[in-house]
Chains A and B, each alone.
Chain A
């Protein structure tokens, strides 16, 4: 059986609240990182707020509708980002959100590797039928990465985001289990 938590470049793990806190506070400084991740106004959360959030999450323990991973590189065992999964247990659909904190780590293939691991986890371990994600029109790097993983563009909600005085679209993407299985067969896995 495959190692669900180990990809080609990265691995899934779970950091202690303190480690996550220190990283979050640093990554938050980069407004581009925040703006790529979310279309809500950028924030300046305190360490205290982050710590309380991560500690509460750790305390709450296992919830079947939510699954969060920290991501470390295999090469240097560096904590570079996170990947979160939300599950609709009734309709067997998962949503994924991911972020790589430091810009030096962008465009290195980490995102694609993280998503491939996520797809494997969601389809072969969580038995979901669909995996969805959203991104913004101004994030072409992510779009390329997601397309490489087999996500299909299912539409755009027009001008639902406004930044720098411009209105831009949100892109909605999804991949079905059958499509992922076909891709696996194609790759001879």
Chain B
């Protein structure tokens, strides 16, 4: 029988949900002031943003979700106190090819190494494969983001591409990896 009981949005500690336009900008603004977070999350130069700018970005984001229909965006919150701890997206969805790219970030260093990344990625993968019916998902990660590389390996992602010296930071070049996970591979791990 089709399992629609297992919650797509909830894990042990986390809940995936919508943007809170009033409360979230201030929190996300704080994340953008962390050089470490920004350099792990993005390849663009770390740029602190005000809550006002983030609020505008949220509006543009929701508009894109509505118009392009190739993007799903979730805020990640702790179930215990509803605190915003991160964000997760399934983007660049190509429906005819069954492919999409995943992005996931936990904002504050204090929230790292608590297993939240694992929980969030697990939820994201279930939505991608069991709800969006994608055939594969991809993720792009810089070589220096060892935590992300480890997390992807944990879920069985295969490192498929090494874009050599594609990034420059701290005065040297770094490789950018492209990882991929096929639905069959995800399925086997989930049941196994």
Interface residues of A (CB under 8 A from B): 39-41, 88, 90-93, 129-130, 132, 152, 154-162, 167, 172, 174, 176
What is the predominant secondary structure among interface residues of chain A facing chain B? strand
B97 contact set on A, CB distance < 8 A: 39, 160-162
In angstroms, Cα B164 to Cα A152, docked, is 10
What is the predominant secondary structure among interface residues of chain B facing chain A? strand
B179 nearest CB neighbor, chain A only: A157
Given contacts A155-B160, A167-B135, contact A41 B96 (CB under 8 A): yes
In angstroms, Cα B166 to Cα A155, docked, is 14
A153 nearest CB neighbor, chain B only: B161
A158 contact set on B, CB distance < 8 A: 136, 158, 160, 180, 182
Q: Could you say which interface size class chain B belongs to?
A: 20 to 34
17 interchain pairs (CB within 8 A)?
Answer: A91-B43, A91-B166, A91-B167, A93-B166, A154-B163, A154-B164, A155-B159, A155-B160, A155-B161, A156-B161, A157-B138, A157-B161, A159-B135, A160-B94, A160-B97, A162-B97, A167-B135
In angstroms, Cα B93 to Cα A32, docked, is 23
Chain B contacts with A in 139-187, Cβ cutoff 8 A: 158-168, 173, 178, 180, 182
User: How far does the Cβ of A38 sit from chain B's closest Cβ, in whole Å?
Assistant: 11
Given contacts A158-B136, A158-B180, contact A172 B163 (CB under 8 A): yes
Evaluate contact between B161 and A132: CB separation under 8 angstroms. no
A152 nearest CB neighbor, chain B only: B164
B168 contact set on A, CB distance < 8 A: 90-92, 129
Whether a CB of chain A sits under 8 angstroms from the CB of B98 is yes
Whether a CB of chain A sits under 8 angstroms from the CB of B45 is yes
In the complex, besides A90-B43, A91-B43, A154-B161, 15 extra interface pairs with C-beta distance below 8 angstroms are: A41-B96, A88-B43, A91-B166, A93-B166, A130-B166, A155-B162, A155-B178, A156-B161, A157-B138, A158-B160, A158-B180, A159-B182, A160-B97, A174-B164, A174-B166
Whether a CB of chain A sits under 8 angstroms from the CB of B99 is yes
